[in-house]
Amino acid sequence: MAARHRGSRMGHRMHLAVSLTIASVPGQASPTFGEIAAVVRNAEAAGVDMVVIPDSSVSGEPVVHPFEATTLLAALATVTSRIGLVAAASTVAHQPYNLARRFASLDIISHGRAGWNATMTQAPREAANFSRPEGFSSDDFHRRSQEYIDIVQGLWQGWDADALLFDKTGGRFHDPEKMHLLDHKGEFFSVRGPLNVARSPQDTPVLVLSGLQEPDMDIAARISDVILLDDEPAEGAKARYADLKRRVAACGCRPDAVKALTNISLTADDRLDAIAGRLAEQFQSNSCDGFNIQLPARLSALDDFVAVVVPELRRRGLFREAYRGTTLRSHLALAAGGDQ
């Protein structure tokens, strides 16, 4: 492993995620699966760590989605081989057992490249479509989200990596000692487990948290693999980053066990050739481990980004030349990623 946290960021490489923009306004043509697959393969050819597929609108604006995020992720997994695939899925829309299963399955379909983007902020209109017209109070939503994520991560660890024996002659398909009940009984949920999906090829799917407020940071430090943070002025961002790493260490983890990516929202007016310089400056000022690029609402903007910005970051030695491993955890240099 490379030495961590020297005084400067010499030799440090940033992580790059790109949010996939697939929503359109009513009347506008939606992108086809083939079009989406083509831009994701381009991002893969450029070595981008992962694409993040957002789901339902939280703005209340009427938009049309061609596909729901987890189903799109499954399809993309079969036409890509290296890039990480992260889908947003709501803790209001799914039961924790079902969501844990879906992502465990996606992780096997993608051979260890899947991640779940959970948000700690309640989408204003969502609960009304899921038989809860009154929604959750902010406090309840907060405690419920924590409990929910704990359950999902617990279910993901229900089968040991060597639990499956496949012993035809001995008649032993799996080792019963290596399958574990969750037996969770909490304030909002009770889930017995275990999951009926095998252990992930990358130990567990990657957990990407967004929508975090300051009080969420201890939780985020304890449970997440990646956090997505909104951009803020340099001094504040540096302090926030240092604070996060202290909290991660306080949980008994190495500071680099959680990657903080800053959301960079590009508008149609931004000049792409200037973006690389801006990202380089922010990264080298110790304010993050990389970026989550949010592009204008036009699928081809992703092609432009990987054609212009990624090569420039690579020229500056700030982005790796190629994938070193095969799993999303290995791209992100997270523990249990296998070949790093």
Binding site residues, another protein, CB under 8 A = 30, 33, 37, 56-57, 62-68, 70-75, 77-79, 93-95, 97-98, 101-102, 104-106, 108-109, 125, 128-133, 159, 164, 166, 168-169, 171-176, 179, 189-194, 196-198
Which of residues 94 and 329 has its CB atom nearest to another protein in the complex? 94
Write down the least CB distance from residue 94 to another protein, Å.
7
Which of residues 82 and 101 has its CB atom nearest to another protein in the complex? 101
Q: Rounded CA gap, 270 and 305, in Å?
A: 11
Write down the least CB distance from residue 179 to another protein, Å.
7
Cβ neighbours around 176 below 10 Å, total: 8
Write down the least CB distance from residue 230 to another protein, Å.
24
DSSP secondary structure string for all residues of 166-204:
EETTTTEEE-GGGB----EE-SS-EE----SSPPBTTBS
Q: Rounded CA gap, 145 and 226, in Å?
A: 16
Which of residues 136 and 189 has its CB atom nearest to another protein in the complex? 189
Which of residues 133 and 233 has its CB atom nearest to another protein in the complex? 133
Which of residues 164 and 217 has its CB atom nearest to another protein in the complex? 164
Q: Rounded CA gap, 140 and 299, in Å?
A: 37
**Phi and psi (nearest 5°) for 8?**
-105, -175
CA proximity to 90, closest of 62, 47, 46, 128: 128
Write down the least CB distance from residue 73 to another protein, Å.
8
Which of residues 65 and 316 has its CB atom nearest to another protein in the complex? 65
Write down the least CB distance from residue 28 to another protein, Å.
11
Which of residues 196 and 213 has its CB atom nearest to another protein in the complex? 196
CA proximity to 45, closest of 85, 81, 87: 81
With beta carbons less than 8 A apart as the criterion, state whether 203 and 336 touch: yes
| 3-class state of residue 11 by DSSP | coil
CA angle 75, 73, 92 (to 5 degrees): 135
Write down the least CB distance from residue 130 to another protein, Å.
5
Write down the least CB distance from residue 204 to another protein, Å.
15
CA proximity to 200, closest of 95, 75, 105: 105
